[in-house]
Amino acid sequence: MVGLRTGGAPQAHEESDGSQRGSGAGGSERAASRIAAAREDHNAEWDADQQQDNNDIVPLTRVEAEKLFGPQVSRPSRVTPFRVVAAQLVLSLVATLVWWLFYKPPGAAALSAFLGGAICWLPGALFAARLKQLSRAGTVLNWMLGEAFKMGATIAMFVVIAFRYHDVQWIPLLVTYLIALKTYWIALAWR
């Protein structure tokens, strides 16, 4: 006989007549079919539990959402892709200025910092322009293709800079890139 443990894994119990103890293919086939049947029963029980859990989810009303999150919950976000790109550009320029002022020699470090910021904001600007162009047909597939293009452009820019610009200063480049990359979080917090 096949039963279920409380943990959900099927286990085989010995029958009193000893039919499973016998050797041969027939006994092991019966045991395997009983285990498979028990697993199907367990999966059906799991699916029923999941369906019940999904039915218990009730969306918030507008009043409840405003109570929880404040009256600005229904206001559209001011964070747009172009604002994020603009913030990335500004932070990249500020970081470039800081590298130029405090790093010796300033020229290569400042250029490397600017290129690091550009690796972040240039693909983002292209992605934002693509989103604006496809705003009427904004599907998930268009969004995914835009993100794939953005990642490809970022990788390509890193590769081109690594192989073409021999005076690159990697610390200013990577630090400025990370600063520009974290602008998303600053833009969301600034909301």
How do residues 60-85 score in pLDDT, each as one tens digit?
Answer: 787 887 888 787 777 776 777 888 89
Flag whether 67 is in a domain: no
Predicted confidence band of residue 20 (pLDDT cuts 50, 70, 90): very low
> Cα separation of 90 and 87, whole Å?
5
Range of the domain at 161: 77-190
Is residue 99 located within the same domain as residue 135?
A: yes
Looking at the structure of the chain, the number of domains it has is 2
Write down the pLDDT at residue 25: 56
Which has the minimum average pLDDT: 5-14, 85-94, 157-166? 5-14
Is residue 129 located within the same domain as residue 169?
A: yes
Flag whether 31 is in a domain: yes
Is residue 23 located within the same domain as residue 107?
A: no
Average pLDDT over residues 137-164: 88
pTM of the model: 0.60
Write down the pLDDT at residue 118: 96
Flag whether 62 is in a domain: no
Flag whether 141 is in a domain: yes
Helix (H) or strand (E) holding 126, with range, is: helix 106-133
User: What 3-state class would DSSP assign to 151?
Assistant: helix
Is residue 47 located within the same domain as residue 91?
A: no
Q: What is the mean pLDDT of the chain?
A: 78
Is residue 84 located within the same domain as residue 30?
A: no
> Cα separation of 170 and 138, whole Å?
37
Write down the pLDDT at residue 13: 46
Flag whether 174 is in a domain: yes
Is residue 86 located within the same domain as residue 46?
A: no
Is residue 146 located within the same domain as residue 178?
A: yes
Query: Is the pLDDT assigned to residue 17 strictly greater than 50?
Result: no
Is residue 48 located within the same domain as residue 114?
A: no
User: pLDDT of 112-139, one tens digit each?
Assistant: 999 999 999 999 999 888 887 776 666 7
Predicted confidence band of residue 12 (pLDDT cuts 50, 70, 90): very low
Flag whether 23 is in a domain: yes
Is residue 173 located within the same domain as residue 135?
A: yes
Query: Is the pLDDT assigned to residue 47 strictly greater than 80?
Result: no
Is residue 81 located within the same domain as residue 168?
A: yes
Flag whether 161 is in a domain: yes
Flag whether 26 is in a domain: yes
> Cα separation of 111 and 20, whole Å?
77
Which residues is 12 bridged to in the sheet? Answer: 2
Is residue 49 located within the same domain as residue 109?
A: no
Is residue 43 located within the same domain as residue 90?
A: no
Which of residues 70 and 148 earns the better pLDDT score? Answer: 148
List, in sequence order, the alpha helices (H) in 56-105: 62-69, 81-102
